[in-house]
Amino acid sequence: MAKAPTRRDVARLSSGLGAPDRNKLDQYLEAIRDIERRIQKAEEQNATMKMPVMERPSGIPEEFEDHAHLMMDLQVLAFQADMTRVVSFMMAREGSNRSYRSIGVTDGHHSCTHHMNDPEKIAKTQKINTHHVETFAYLIGKLKSTPDGEGSLLDHSQILYGSSISDGNAHTHHDLPILLVGGAAGQVKGGRHMRYPKETPLNNLLLSMMDYAGVRVEKLGDSTGEVKLLSGV
């Protein structure tokens, strides 16, 4: 809960706003209170469980999707308040062997990706990948539903989702399945599936994204130029 001085500050700010802005402020504050409640619930659940000897932060939800959603909600609030304009978030470290019991996968993720062409392990890997994308879609939905200027936070953002490995079984770094979501303030045309020549560096895409963000550099890592046809309505 907010402390008394904070409540007074909010009341003073609110009194000088018009109805639309007061409603926007109320929605923002309610989102903060919702996150506080969820963290408190996670802390209470942790307190009743046998904790490992190693130290870990308190308030981490036990379920993957609950933890990811909480982190994504914090990202949206940070964007909404313009506290930051850049976020890097990993669903899991690349060597993670987490299991996903909530979707019926009890084997470790990393073990499944080294499938040796076993159809059952491939199916489990696909199920985990689908779950990750569905979790990512939660963030996109939150950004889309959050007003920002004449559009939404999603309209004014560009979000890159993907992995640096296309086939975990062979550690293949070619033909990466990459999602680029958001309008970048009208600079990027969405709703397309695009393929680029083999050996096109991923840094070419990052170079293009930097350009759309107003950060213009000639080269990034092993980049060979910006990707073509990313914009163009």
Residue 25 inside a domain? The answer is: yes
Distance CA(164)–CA(129), nearest Å, equals: 14
pLDDT of 130: 95
Residue 52 inside a domain? The answer is: yes
- The answer on pLDDT for 52 being more than 70 is no
Residue 22 inside a domain? The answer is: yes
Residue 123 inside a domain? The answer is: no
- The answer on pLDDT for 178 being more than 80 is yes
pLDDT of 4: 41
Helix axes 64-80, 19-47, angle to 10 degrees: 150
Under the banding of pLDDT at 50, 70 and 90, the label for residue 143 is: very high
- The answer on pLDDT for 159 being more than 80 is yes
User: Could you read off the pLDDT of 92-117 as tens digits, one per residue?
Assistant: 887 888 899 999 999 999 999 999 99
Residue 28 inside a domain? The answer is: yes
Residue 58 inside a domain? The answer is: yes
